[in-house]
Amino acid sequence: MVDAGAAHFDGVGISVLWSLPFAGLLLSIALLPLLTPHFWEHHFCKVAAFWVLAFLVPCAVAAGFSIAAQAVLHIFLLEYVPFILLLFTLFVVAGGIKVSGNLVGTPGTNTAMLAFGTLSASFLGTPGASMVLIRPMIRANQDRNYNIHVFVFFIFLVANIGGSLTPLGDPPLFVGFLKGVDFLWTLGTMLAPMLFVSGILLALFYLIDRLAWNRESSGVKAKSAATRQIRVEGLHNVLYLFAVALTVLASGIWHRDATFPLGLGIELPLNGLVRDVILVALALLSWRTTKRAIRRVMFWLTNSGAKSSLALKL
C-alpha cells in the first residue's frame, strides 16, 4: 500500500475493500434520491462527506497522516482542479450560445436534435452540449402534453453517452487524459459502441415519441405546419470552443519536464498550469464578450404540474 522509498500512497496490490466507500457513494447517489428524496435533498453533502471520511480515516491509520494528506492534495491539485476548470470553461462558453426559433417538438425534430446533441457532446462536452440544446428542446416541447420522455432520453444521450469519444466529453475521460491516456484513444475505441448504443436509443425514442405525438391534440399538431425559423446568437463562442479543444489537445502533446514543487512530494507540471490558465482566460473572454441576455435561462412553469401528470400516463 505504501512505497517506502517514495513515501507515497501506492494503489498497486491493495485490497478490493478499499473501493467500498466509492461504491457506497455511487449507490447513495443512485438510490437515495429515489428512496428518501427529502433526506437526500437536505443532507447530500453530509452523505458525500461520510463516504470520503470512510476512506480517508482508514487510509491515514494504515499509511500515516502525512501520506494520506499527500495523496489527497495530489488528487485535488493535479486532477480535481483541472477537471473543474475544464467543466467551468465549457459551461461558460457553451452557455453563451443561444439557439432560438419556432421549432415544434415533432418526433422527427426531437430525434434530430437528440442525434445532433449526442454527436456534438464529445466536442462541446456533455455540460456544453446540454447548455446549448436544453433551451430549444424545452421551447419546442413546451406545448406538448406528453413530453417527459423527451428529457429522459436527453439525459441518456446528450448528457451521458454522447460524451464518450474524447476527454472533452466526459469527466472520467479527462481524468484519464491527465493520467497519460492518448487524446484520440477513446475516439478509436468507443466510436463503434457509441454509435451502436445511440442508434438503438434514438430508434426507441422515435417510436415512443411517435406514439406520444399521436395522442397530442389537434392544436399542438397544427403548429408543426408553420415555417420553421432558427436563430443562433453568440456564435463567436464556437471559436472559443475550438480554442478549448486545441488547448486541451496541446497540453497532452506538449510534454515538458519543468514543474513547480509545492512540498509533500507534489509537483505541478508546467503544461498543465499553462492549459488551466488559458482555459480560465477563454471563460473570461466568453463572459465579457457575450450579451447577458443570451445567458438568461428561461423556465416554463405554466401548467407544468398538469403536463407532468399527463406525461406519466404514457
The domain total for the chain is 2
Single pTM value for the model: 0.72
Whether residues 56 and 84 share a domain: the answer is no
Residue 310, pLDDT > 80, answer no
Cβ-based neighbour number of residue 214 at 10 Å: 10
- 2 and 122 together in one domain: no
CB 160 within 8 A of CB 171: no
What pLDDT, on the 0 to 100 scale, is given for residue 6? 45
State yes or no: pLDDT of 15 exceeds 90.
Answer: no
Report the 10 Å Cβ neighbour count for 309: 11
**Is there a contact between 88 and 184 (Cβ–Cβ < 8 Å)?**
no
Which of 63, 87, 105 is the C-terminal boundary of a domain?
A: 63
Q: How is 81-111 classified by DSSP, letter by letter? A: HHHHHHHHHHHHHHTT-EEEE-----HHHHH
Residue 271 and residue 153 in contact, taking contact as beta carbons nearer than 8 Å:
no
My answer on whether 72 and 39 are in the same domain is no
**Cell numbers for 18:** 478499499
pLDDT digits (tens, 9 = 90+) for 44-58: 999 999 999 998 898
Considering the domain architecture, whether residues 238 and 137 belong to the same structural domain is answered as yes
Residues 53 and 83 in one domain: no
Please state, in angstroms and rounded to a whole number, the distance separating the CA atoms of residues 63 and 73.
15
- At residue 50, the pLDDT reads 95
Find, among 171, 156, 166, 148, the residue nearest to 115 by Cα. Answer: 156
pLDDT digits (tens, 9 = 90+) for 162-204: 889 988 887 778 878 877 788 888 888 889 999 999 999 999 9
Going from the C-alpha of 194 to that of each of 171, 175, 203, the distances in angstroms are 17, 20, 14
Q: Which spans in the chain are helix H? A: 20-35, 37-63, 65-75, 81-94, 107-124, 126-141, 148-157, 171-178, 185-214, 218-222, 236-253, 270-289, 292-295, 304-311
Residues 33 and 136 in one domain: no
Average pLDDT over residues 241-268: 77
Q: What percentage of the chain reaches a pLDDT higher than 90?
A: 28
The domain of 255 spans 67-311
Nine-digit cell string for 272: 498543465
Looking at 21, 40, 63, the residue that finishes a domain is 63
Confidence of residue 156 (pLDDT cuts 50, 70, 90): very high
Verify that 228 and 211 share a domain, yes or no.
Answer: yes
Is the same domain home to 25 and 51?
Answer: yes
Instruction: Answer yes or no: do 136 and 250 share one domain.
Output: yes
SS3 (DSSP) at 229: coil
**Which residue, of 37, 63, 89, is where some domain finishes?**
63
